Each structure stands twice: as C-alpha cells, then as structure tokens.
Amino acid sequence: MDTIDEEAAAKVAVDHLDLWYGDFQALKDISLTMPEGKVTAMIGPSGCGKSTLLRTLNRMCDLAEAVRHEGSVTVDGTDVFGVDPNELRLKVGMVFQHPNPFPMSIKDNVCYGPRRHAEVSHADLDELTETSLRRAGLWDEVKDDLSHDALGLSGGQQQRLCIARAIAMGPEVLLMDEPTSALDPISTGMVEELMRELSRDHTVIVVTHNMQQATRVSDKCAFFLLGELVEAGPTPELFAHPKDKRTEDYLTGRFG
C-alpha cells in the first residue's frame, strides 16, 4: 500500500470512477487518492485518460457533451458532483497546458477571480497581487509595471501569471494540466520548482507527459493506460520498482 497515504491524509479521493463520452469509456474503474500537501503526478501516453480524470476533479469535464459517470470523486470527503461546480472551482483551481491569461493587465489578471467573487478593497487587491505574484515567482520580473499587458509577457511568464491568478483565489487543490509542455526548458524548471513550493500550502495534482518531470516534482505518481489506472504509488518506488509489467515497459520507453 501507499506509504504516503498513511502519512498524509487523502485530500482528493477517486473511488471506482467510470466515465463515458457518449459511447466511449474514457475512464475505467479508477480508484486513487491524492494526499494533502503533496504533489501527485499522473502519467501515461496520450489518450490514456489522465487529463480527463484531472478535469473531472474540478468538473471541467462537465463542459463536454454527453458525459456521464459512475462512482465518486470527493474533495475533503465532499462529493464533487453534489456541489455547485462554480463553488467547487473556488476550492480546486486549475492551470492549463497553454498559458491563457486574459487580454488585460498583469494586475487585472491576478485580481480577476477575487474581484468577481468578493468585495475586496484596493489595498487588499494590491497586497493580494503582490503575494500571489511572489508565490508564483513572477513578482521581481513584473513589479515595476503591473499595468503592463499580460499578453506582452513571454510564454513562461504568462504561465506563472496563470498560476498567480489561480492561487489568488486561495484554492486548496491546484490542478495542472501539462503546465510546462508549451514552455522552454528554463521556464519549465521555474514552474517545476514552483510546484514543489506550492505543495506546502496546496495539494498539487499535475498531469505530465514528461516522466523526468514526474520524478522531479511528484511525491506520488499514478500511471494510466487506455483509461485504466495501472499502478500508483510513491514516486521513487514506482519508478524504481514498478509492480506491473506495463508500467515497467512504459517507464523504460518500450512503448508510449
């Protein structure tokens, strides 16, 4: 059994989840827990269902047509399908594969969510902007011109801005869908470092194509194949001693 799960409580728990897009079954009987305050990585070849599972955790999967599911997904013991999706997303933030800042200033991007959801004073917003940008490791690069257009930033800066925008909402869980696949190696390194730091205050769940990335950033790792969860466990253990032949084949590059 997972040794991590015994140390840290499960923040997110997926229990016997099946999910279909129309007739296509994208997830088959998935049971997995994501420990609180840790980074959980989900790996596997394209189309294996890892992104679908990630998008189920904040119910972004609801957006597709004809989606149905069986089984349960809980955050802090609360069934995500039983709460309002917009409320759920305040608690479960998300960062996407391609940086998607809004076409507005850096500060407006960070303050966007909080402004929409709560009455916040200007002073609070200034402070929130600074803390969020600092925590996203972007503050020093942009502090002199917060009114600068966010689309004028580099790809890596835009992605860190999107992270700042997500954490400004104070989410407990942060989902990251291949957050570095559109970035250069230096920006990738920065974002990976961020994931480690963010996991002190947030439960981070990351989907990645990059197995080295999974070993660098994650505490727990889950390997998916064709909609099935093949194997999950503490990252070092999974990489060093995979229990399943398919995991071993994938990790050693024999297919994928």
Partner 1 sequence: MADVTSVPSQAVRAARHARRIAAQDRFATGVLTAIVGLVLAVLVAIVGYILVNGAGKLFDVSFLTSKPEQFRAGGGIGPELFNSFYLLVLTLVISVPVSLGAAVFLAEYAPDNAATTVAKTAIETLSSLPSIVVGLFGFLFFVLQCGWGFSILSGSLALTMFNIPILVRTIQQALEAVPRTQRDAGLALGLTKWETTIHVLLPAAMPAIVTGVVLSAGRVFGEAAALIYTAGQSAPALDFLNFDLTSASCPWNVFRPAETLAVHIWKINSEGVVPDLEAVSNGTAAVLMVCILAFNLLARWAGKAIARRLTAE
113 binds partner 1 (CB under 8 A): yes
CA distances from 15 to 10, 32, 79, 138, 204 (A): 12, 7, 11, 37, 19
Give the separation between CA 191 and CA 152, rounded to whole angstroms. Answer: 19
- Choose one: 57-65, 138-146, 238-246, 247-255; the region binding partner 1 (CB under 8 A): 57-65
Residues 95 and 166 sit within 8 Å (Cβ to Cβ)? yes
Question: ∠ CA 20-24-29 to the nearest 5 degrees?
Answer: 50
Among 23, 24, 46, 63, binds partner 1 (CB under 8 A): 63
58 binds partner 1 (CB under 8 A): yes
- Choose one: 13-21, 36-44, 93-101, 233-241; the region binding partner 1 (CB under 8 A): 93-101
Among 108, 178, 192, 219, binds partner 1 (CB under 8 A): 108
Tell me the site size for partner 1, rule CB under 8 A.
Answer: 31
Give the separation between CA 178 and CA 196, rounded to whole angstroms. Answer: 15
Taken in order 159, 122, 199, 194, the sign of the CA dihedral is positive
Least distance CB 90 / partner 1 (angstroms): 4
89 binds partner 1 (CB under 8 A): yes
87 binds partner 1 (CB under 8 A): yes
Among 69, 98, 196, 209, binds partner 1 (CB under 8 A): 98
Least distance CB 48 / partner 1 (angstroms): 21
Radius of gyration of the chain (CA): 18
**Residue 82 burial (CB count, 10 A):** 9
Least distance CB 53 / partner 1 (angstroms): 16
Site for partner 1 in 135-154 (CB under 8 A): 147, 149, 151
Least distance CB 64 / partner 1 (angstroms): 11
117 binds partner 1 (CB under 8 A): yes
165 binds partner 1 (CB under 8 A): yes
**Residue closer to partner 1 (CB basis): 1 or 63:** 63
Site string for partner 1, 168-197 (x = CB under 8 A): -x----------------------------
Contact positions vs partner 1 (CB under 8 A): 58, 60, 63, 65, 86-90, 93-94, 96, 98, 100-105, 108, 112-113, 116-117, 147, 149, 151, 162, 165-166, 169
